Amino acid sequence: MADLLLGQVLSFRDDPFEMGEAAAQHIEQGAVLVEGGLIRAIGEAAALRAAHPGARLHDYGRDLISAGFIDAHVHYPQTAIIASWGKRLIDWLNLYTFPEEMRFADPAYAEEIAGRYLDLVLARGTTSICSYATIHPASVDAIFGAAKARGMRVWAGKTCMDRNAPEGLRDTAQSAYDDSRALLQKWHGIDRLSYVITPRFSPTSTPEQLAVLGALWRENPSCLMQTHLSEQTDEIAWVKELFPQSRDYLDTYEAQGLLREGAVYGHAIWLTGREKARLTEAGASLVHCPTSNTFIGSGLFDMGLARSLRVGLATDTGGGSSFSMLRTMAAAYEIAQLRGEALHPAQLWWLATTGSARALHAERQIGNIAPGMEADLVVINLASTPAIAQASTRAETLWQALFPTIMMGDDRAIRDVWLGGRRYS
């Protein structure tokens, strides 16, 4: 039986970084028809009710129906250490990240954290994530198993490191290739799961390891490849010492076959002109992680890059300080303000939905409300707290009503979540 969701409906016809707010479609008294896991129709509520009298009705009143949020760069193994006091990136890795990731040698612990993490983000309206695991194959099994049980579309991969990490977190070039290949064959394309080839970043991989992962990617071109790029200035200086033959940070990946369409680079704050040009030419994706960039003191991402590159948005759990994509949108707005650009609410919402889907090359599957898309939806209460309600009730446009939720909303704003056409609870 079909389900008919009634409420305000927000979708995108185009890119708001190119077309402005006209790229969005808002149906004030709208409806979304869901059947067989897919969106079958979107339109005026009265017309769809008349056309589908047998559909189950879910009347959300004045609440907003949107595509579910997509978190394009996370480290689910860092769930338990989120909001740990730290200094710079390398200190934070050594003090918190690496000791915590050592615990994922225990498959039971990996399963516990994977389930906890997905439940935390689902409660905040996030329906898809792209995650790093640890070097342990069981950590990949854990996140994919938990996602499969919940019906989520998820990307993940074994994090590969063969230097500059504790002994218990290092693999080798050969074991990185073998483990990644085996996990890819086990999980890629199963249900709604996709494997991602995952070198952590150049400082923790030798050129030999990067090269074999580049070879694995060539052998499996349908996969994405994710890693980190130019997050902090001292990190970039370290890369220059480790790779004196490379032109810049991006070249450490490019030289090993890790730059092309389907490459997804987190952070990308301190890019050179050559790097920007090559990323654009290659059709690569960048992922902005604003709460992480402020929490660890990395820098201010240039959102102007969204006009020439695929750019997604992410919490970067647990370097990021929130599991919420609403809080992440707010931080993206604040960072853009510091760079002299006021992002429109349509652009912020796009980044957390369609933009992140595009960054993961999944814009034909998720991230928008349109016939044929997978029915991953979030229903937003635009008056979830007294402070938000007093602002939204004065609104004369959708954007004036939505912006207070972007800036002040939390899990209380999430009224409902739908995964693959099924109501999640």
CA gap 387, 400 in Å, rounded: 14
Q: Residue 94 has what pLDDT?
A: 78
Strand, helix or coil for residue 328? helix
- Strand (E) positions, 235-359? 263-267, 285-288, 310-313
Per cent of the chain over pLDDT 90 is 93
Strand, helix or coil for residue 301? coil
If we measure between CA atoms, which residue out of 259, 237, 327 comes closest to residue 290? 327
pLDDT (tens digit, 9 = 90+) per residue, 349-392? 999 999 999 999 999 999 999 999 999 999 999 999 999 999 98
Q: Residue 81 has what pLDDT?
A: 86
Residue type for position 411: D
CB atoms near residue 403 (< 10 Å): 23
Q: Residue 91 has what pLDDT?
A: 77
83-88 mean pLDDT: 75
| CA 123 to centroid of chain Cα atoms | 16
Pairing of strands 38-44, 153-157: unpaired
If we measure between CA atoms, which residue out of 242, 229, 331, 230 comes closest to residue 290? 331
Tokens of 251: 């070249």
- Please list the residue range(s) of the chain that carry CATH number 3.20.20.140: 69-359
- Would the pLDDT of 101 be above 90? yes
Pairing of strands 153-157, 159-160: unpaired
Tokens of 76: 């689910």
Q: Taking the alpha carbons of 323, 329, 334, 338 in that order, is the dihedral positive or negative? A: positive
57-67 mean pLDDT: 98
Q: Residue 320 has what pLDDT?
A: 86
Residue type for position 290: P
Domain 69-359 part of CATH 3.40.50.80: no
pLDDT (tens digit, 9 = 90+) per residue, 102-115? 999 999 999 999 99
CATH code for the part of the protein at 3-67+367-424 = 2.30.40.10
Spatial contact of 146 and 121, defined as CB atoms under 8 Å apart: no
pLDDT (tens digit, 9 = 90+) per residue, 155-186? 999 999 999 999 999 999 999 999 999 999 99
Tokens of 46: 């009265």
Per cent of the chain over pLDDT 70 is 99
Tokens of 271: 């890019």
Q: Taking the alpha carbons of 352, 358, 359, 362 in that order, is the dihedral positive or negative? A: positive
Q: Residue 255 has what pLDDT?
A: 98
Spatial contact of 210 and 202, defined as CB atoms under 8 Å apart: yes
CA gap 307, 17 in Å, rounded: 6
CA gap 344, 346 in Å, rounded: 5
- Please list the residue range(s) of the chain that carry CATH number 2.30.40.10: 3-67+367-424
CA 224-360-164 angle, 5° bins: 50
Spatial contact of 399 and 407, defined as CB atoms under 8 Å apart: no
* Look-up of token digits 């030289």: 255
Tokens of 75: 């480290």
- Would the pLDDT of 89 be above 80? no
CA 226-232-233 angle, 5° bins: 130
Phi, psi of 319 (to 5 degrees): -65, -35
- Would the pLDDT of 19 be above 90? yes
CA gap 274, 141 in Å, rounded: 38
Q: Residue 74 has what pLDDT?
A: 98
Spatial contact of 289 and 320, defined as CB atoms under 8 Å apart: yes
- Would the pLDDT of 86 be above 80? no
- Would the pLDDT of 37 be above 80? yes
pLDDT (tens digit, 9 = 90+) per residue, 317-350? 988 899 999 999 999 999 999 999 999 999 999 9
Q: Which residues contact 286 (CB under 8 A, 6 or more apart)?
A: 229, 264, 265, 266, 268, 279, 305, 309, 310, 311, 312, 359
pLDDT (tens digit, 9 = 90+) per residue, 203-249? 999 999 999 999 999 999 999 999 999 999 999 999 999 999 999 99
How sure is the predictor about 95, in pLDDT bands with cuts at 50, 70 and 90? Answer: confident
| Angle, helix 137-150 to helix 107-122, in steps of 10 degrees | 40
pLDDT (tens digit, 9 = 90+) per residue, 252-311? 999 999 999 999 999 999 999 999 999 999 999 999 999 999 998 999 999 999 999 999
Q: Residue 17 has what pLDDT?
A: 97
